[in-house]
Structure 1
Amino acid sequence: MMTPSKTGKVLLTRPEPDNDSLKTLLTNQGFDVRELPLLQIEQLPESPEIRTLAMNIDQFQEVICTSKHAANWLMQLLDTYWPQIPVGIRWYAMGSGSATPLIEYGLEVSLPVTGNTSEDMLQRPELQNLDQHKVLLVKGEGGRDTLAQGLTERGASVDTLELYRRTQAEYPHETLKAVFGQWQPDQIVVLSGEALDSLWSLCRKIGYALKSTRCIVPSQRVADKAKALNLNVAVAASLHDESLADMINASLNQ
């Protein structure tokens, strides 16, 4: 890995405290790192539907957690309604961060063989023929329906357990001008299409020319969305901190 210039400025945008490990890694490599979370994460109140799905989770052959927040709050629910996690369920997570809460409960978790998108998850060989399987998707409110559609097309009966919502973060003009007008990041890590929407909205709010800053994104889908806005974009190999740091280093002098 190349040694970065001390003037490399990187803005991290995950909700707190999800930036901590990447911030430490980049700071140790000499980058000037700041945080500006682009999305707020709010746990949904426990509804009768949420309670019913949690209490009947033993009826599902596959459970797929699409984020760390989904996995965390699912485990809290199961702690409430199950003295021990039911056996006979195949557990899946979209990435290593999503898998961690499940692994901490002693569960064996499968990830996409490569990548971290719905399309990547659908490539797993054991998810190709799901006739008479019941699959539970644990996720946030809204979002893409690619995974549910793909599983349904393969014969699965799919239920969705939505445990949180994402909303765009709001900041006063002074905060935004301090970050974008005065500090002026060289690179911004933007890890979802919703986060990109929030970034675009905040920058327009203060008239910041986002096109002059490189955006590090996690997938070709988000890259295509950024390119449609004429943004300077680079795609990291994965959501792992090391992969993001590698791309940030590689992009520094481009």
Structure 2
Amino acid sequence: MVVRLSLPLSGAGVIVTRPPGTAAALQRLLQRQGAEVVLLPGISLRAIEAADVARRELGVAARADGLIFISPAAVKFAWKLLPSLRLLKRSALCAVGQGTALALARAGRRNDVVVPDSSQDSEGLLAMDALRGVRGQDWCIVGAAGGRDVLAQGLRRRGARVRLIEVYRRAAPRWSRLHFARLETAPKPLILLVSSAQALANLATGLPAGLVLALRAAELVVSSARLAGLAREHGFTRIHVAESALSPALAAAAVQALARHRL
């Protein structure tokens, strides 16, 4: 391998844990900065079996007072089920984080999306004015089963009627010996990028013991302070918090983590 010392991530192995089919842009960005990228999906996203039910529920959601998408995947799967969502006019449209807002923009909704100003999470969205005066309103949360219930609880406490619509499901990743071999031979130091609590848990509990130890010794970049706390519970100690889960933010945090490692 030729090490290009002029690039900020030269000589490092950067582990990308995004779901299969979603990591290409981040991978290219990291490679342009000199990293050797290892793709190790921490989670798999799959279509739900009850697609007809979800499609009907999305049709009802189109008449709600507010519609919240919890992730870029929620946008992707919902639009696939009901493309006419792009024509929504009545409902307030909200996104949990800049990544989800970007997915909505790519789907045709650019200028009317409520997105957190501060923390890019459920708490940040609940702090926005658009979600304060919701008493008596109907709100729909579009995502997957098994996530955090912060938004639904918060809206219900404020007097809203809340419907949860599952448009995809999370599943454990399918790893192969090739994944393990790439991780074992990746250049050191290792930098691990994680933006999902379930992905973090899958990595910390599902990999062979030796590889888990290798990851715990890596520089870990997470996309939120909440994930940093979960990472400590899983035994990680070298933790860096990125500004968001967007690719540029994760890459910038990886550069900073490597610079600190080399001090």
Same fold per superposition (TM over 0.5): yes
Query: After superposition, what is the alpha-carbon deviation per residue over 1:136-185, rounded to whole angstroms, capped at 9, x for unaligned?
Result: 0000121110111011111110000011111111324x335413332256
- The CA deviation at 1:104 is 3.9
Alpha-carbon contact 1:78-1:85 (below 8 Å) kept: no
Structure 2, unpaired ranges of 5+: 1-5
Task: Tell me the distance in 2 between the aligned counterparts of 1:252 and 1:99.
Answer: 29
Query: Partner of 1:248: helix, strand, or coil?
Result: helix
Deviations 1:116-155 (A, max 9, x none): 2111111111211211111000001211101110111111
- Number of the residue aligned with 2:12: 8
2:225 maps to which residue? Answer: 220
2:33 to 29, 45, 51: 29
Specify the code of the residue in structure 2 equivalent to 1:218.
S
1:140 pairs with 2:131: no
**Aligned equivalent of 1:50, options 46, 54, 67:** 54
Match for residue 246 of structure 1 among 219, 231, 252? 252
Cα deviation, residue 109, structure 1: 1.4
Q: Does 1:234 align with 2:237?
A: no
Structure 1 pair 240–101 and aligned structure 2 pair: CA distance change class (3 A) = closer
Indicate the residue corresponding to 1:63 in structure 2: 67
- The residue number in structure 2 matching 1:87 is 89
Contact 1:61–1:135 (CA<8 Å) still a contact in 2?
yes
Partners of 1:52 and 1:9 in 2: CA distance: 45
> How large is the RMSD of aligned CA atoms in angstroms?
2.2
Distance 1:29 1:51 in 2: 42
Q: Distance between the aligned counterparts of 2:251 and 2:86, measured in 1?
A: 38
Question: What TM-score, normalized to structure 1?
Answer: 0.90
The aligned counterpart of 2:185 is 182
Q: Is the 8 A contact 1:11 1:34 kept in 2?
A: yes
Aligned residues: 250
Render the CA deviation track for 1:198-222: whole Å, top value 9, x for unaligned.
1112334445413211211111111
CA contact (8 A) 1:6 1:31 kept: yes
Pairing partner for 1:96 from 84, 95, 98: 98
Deviations 1:52-74 (Å, cap 9, x if unpaired)? 31222233110000111111222
Contact 2:134 2:160 in 1 (8 A): yes
Tell me, what secondary structure is at the counterpart of 2:11?
coil
Match of 1:211 among 216, 220, 223: 216
- Percent identity, please: 27
1:48-100 Cα deviation digits (max 9, x unpaired) = 54233122223311000011111122223333xx5972421111112333224
